[in-house]
C-alpha cells in the first residue's frame, strides 16, 4: 500500500485466501484430534499393542511392517494425512 502496488482489492483477496488456507489446516488438525480420541476410546491402540506383543514382533520386524504400511498408504493418500492416520496407531506400539 505504501508503494501503491497493493490496492484494497488485492489486499482483501490475499486476506480471504489466507483465511481459506487457515480454515483448511484447522479442519485437518481438528479431524486428527477427533480420530486420535476415537482410537483411544475404542481400545484399538491397546489391542494393537497387545497383538504385537503376543506374536513377539521385534524392533526390526516392526520397522519393516511400518515402512511397508507407509509405502502402501503413500500410493493412495498425501503424506500429511498418512501421518495423521498412522502415527496415533503406531506410536503406542513403538513405545
Task: Give the DSSP H/E element, type plus range, for residue 14.
Answer: helix 8-42
- Tell me, yes or no, whether 3 lies in a domain: no
- Tell me, yes or no, whether 1 lies in a domain: no
Residue 62: per-residue pLDDT:
85
- Tell me, yes or no, whether 2 lies in a domain: no
Residue 58: per-residue pLDDT:
82
What's the domain range around 30?
8-94
Number of residues that make up the chain? 95
What's the grid cell of residue 86? 498412522
- Tell me, yes or no, whether 85 lies in a domain: yes
- Please report, in tens digits, the pLDDT of each residue of the chain (95 residues total): 556 678 888 889 999 999 999 999 899 889 888 888 888 888 888 888 888 888 887 888 888 988 998 999 889 888 888 888 888 888 888 77
Amino acid at each position: 500500500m505504501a508503494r501503491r502496488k497493493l490496492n484494497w482489492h488485492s489486499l482483501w483477496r490475499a486476506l480471504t485466501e489466507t483465511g481459506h488456507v487457515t480454515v483448511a489446516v484447522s479442519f485437518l488438525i481438528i479431524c486428527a484430534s477427533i480420530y486420535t480420541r476415537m482410537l483411544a476410546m475404542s481400545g484399538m491402540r491397546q489391542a494393537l499393542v497387545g497383538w504385537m506383543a503376543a506374536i513377539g514382533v521385534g524392533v526390526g520386524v516392526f520397522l519393516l511392517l511400518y515402512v511397508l504400511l507407509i509405502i502402501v498408504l503413500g500410493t493412495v493418500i498425501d503424506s500429511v494425512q498418512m501421518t495423521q492416520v498412522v502415527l496415533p496407531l503406531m506410536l503406542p506400539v513403538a513405545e
